[in-house]
Amino acid sequence: MTGIEKAQEIMEEVKKVVFGKDEVIKQIMTCFLAGGNVLVDDIPGVGKTTLALAFARAMGMEEQRIQFTPDVMPSDVLGFTTYDMEKKEFVYKKGAVFCNLLLADEINRTSSKTQSALLEAMEEKSVTVEGKTYPLGNPFLVIATQNPTGSVGTNMLPESQLDRFMIRTSMGYPLKEYEIQMLLGKQNDMDHNHVTKVSSVEEFLSMQDEVKEVYIHPRILDYIVSLVQATRNRETIRLGVSPRGTIACMQMSKAYAYLEGRDYVVPGDVKNILLPTIGHRILLSRGHTSEDIKKELDDILDQVGVPAKESL
């Protein structure tokens, strides 16, 4: 079985317990293959935890979950040293980040200090406690969830921290037919425990290596940069996309092409990943809803010329 077929099989397993969210599942799989982390911005109770645990089980990864609350400390995330009376020495107790896939639930309910501790671990892929550095698992992937702005007790992520997530997505309410499927599944005790392991950590790492080999033409790179720079030169946008966002667009485009069964990127791949990849990296001068941001990006896509097929 090829890596692409294996990736498709992983997504099919997740779909067994997450109904009617095929686009979100593909976005997350694309992000994981690109080596990025996911922020799910959504209301409680729409299946975010089930989604994360289903991915972990299908990919054969060790998972951990942190329910963030105001009293969660950085040491709960990273770990801490304590004195062992038997060994008569200080020993390190690992935190929740020591896994392959971490579900950081309601990240905006905890303090800025704890948020920063997690995001630093995401960036460095290691933890430093009292001068000693401990490498995290390989891969180390994060699905963080946050409640909408205005929820009680929330502490919204600043722009610099939002930028650390490769994509932001939202599940939203299910359609009626899928909500009925969900109820039928609950009657039959269908949950993430019914998801079958179809991959291993080693196979997933091999898929990530294959994504890195996907070819992207210089004209496609020029197209990505032109789209990003357009976000920095519009009166309707007061904060444009960072260079980290430019890199994320390239990586996501390659992973999307891979899932489409190609070893090269086409302009359509860039268009398909644009909103989840850079939508959370811009601030509008007016309006801030997802519809406002989508309209702005649609205007940019219309404005920036697409590379001609014959030039690629």
Given a cut of 90, whether residue 263 has pLDDT beyond it is yes
Reported as a pLDDT band with limits 50, 70 and 90, residue 76 is very high
Rounded distance, CA 125 to CA 144, Å? 16
In sequence order, the 6+-apart residues with CB closer than 8 A to the CB of 126 are 133, 134, 135, 136
pTM: 0.92
Does residue 166 contact residue 31 with C-beta atoms inside 8 Å? yes
Q: Which one, of 30, 283, 292, 304, lies nearest residue 166 by Cα?
A: 30
Does residue 284 contact residue 293 with C-beta atoms inside 8 Å? yes
The predicted pLDDT at position 35 comes to 96
Could you tell me the residue ranges of all domains in the chain?
3-188, 213-304
pLDDT tens-digit readout, 26-74: 999 999 999 999 999 877 777 788 888 899 999 999 999 999 988 999 9
Q: What percent of the chain has pLDDT over 70?
A: 94
Given a cut of 60, whether residue 189 has pLDDT beyond it is no
In terms of CATH, what superfamily is 3-188? P-loop containing nucleotide triphosphate hydrolases (3.40.50.300)
The predicted pLDDT at position 187 comes to 54
Rounded distance, CA 131 to CA 34, Å? 31
In sequence order, the 6+-apart residues with CB closer than 8 A to the CB of 189 are none
CATH number for the 213-304 domain, one of 3.40.630.30, 3.40.50.300, 2.60.40.1080, 1.10.8.80? Answer: 1.10.8.80
H/E run at residue 58:
helix 48-58
Does residue 114 contact residue 77 with C-beta atoms inside 8 Å? yes
